[in-house]
Amino acid sequence: MSFKIIDKLNKYLNIVAGCMLILMMLLATSNIIFRFFGHPIKGTFEILGFLGAMVCSLSLLETEQKGGHITIGLLYEKLPNQIKPFLDFVTLILSISFLSLICYKLFQLGFSIKEYGELSETLHIPYYPVIFICAFGVLFLIIFMLFNFLKK
């Protein structure tokens, strides 16, 4: 896998996440307008929650590529340069371990919910596709972090 493939995947994920974000804005605005006239849109809260979760997870790769995740540079900058690579490695291992656990649990939850046929309360939309999309967002982040580390 090369950075070209990751860049194309990232571009696609950003387009999908951007479209979902626009849909969220349109739905929220429409609901406010229709609610003013006494006809709120049924299931708006559910749909906005689903879309928000997917937008966040599909944006993880972009944020990591741009270095937008939170770092604590105040202490890090004062450390000797000999220690920084080791600290970067430990941080990477801990991050990948934690994210792998999250990814595993999301897939496990998705399969469990699919098996039991759980649906959202108002619109009766299946939960599992949303959970799987979130799991894939985390998985793509893990793959990028590993690939980025191996390239160094």
How sure is the predictor about 149, in pLDDT bands with cuts at 50, 70 and 90?
Answer: confident
Q: How many residues does the chain have?
A: 152
Does the structure show a pLDDT above 80 at 9? Answer: yes
What pLDDT is stored for residue 3 in this prediction?
Answer: 73
pTM: 0.88
Domain boundaries in the chain?
3-151
Task: Output the CA torsion sign for 89, 94, 97, 98.
Answer: negative
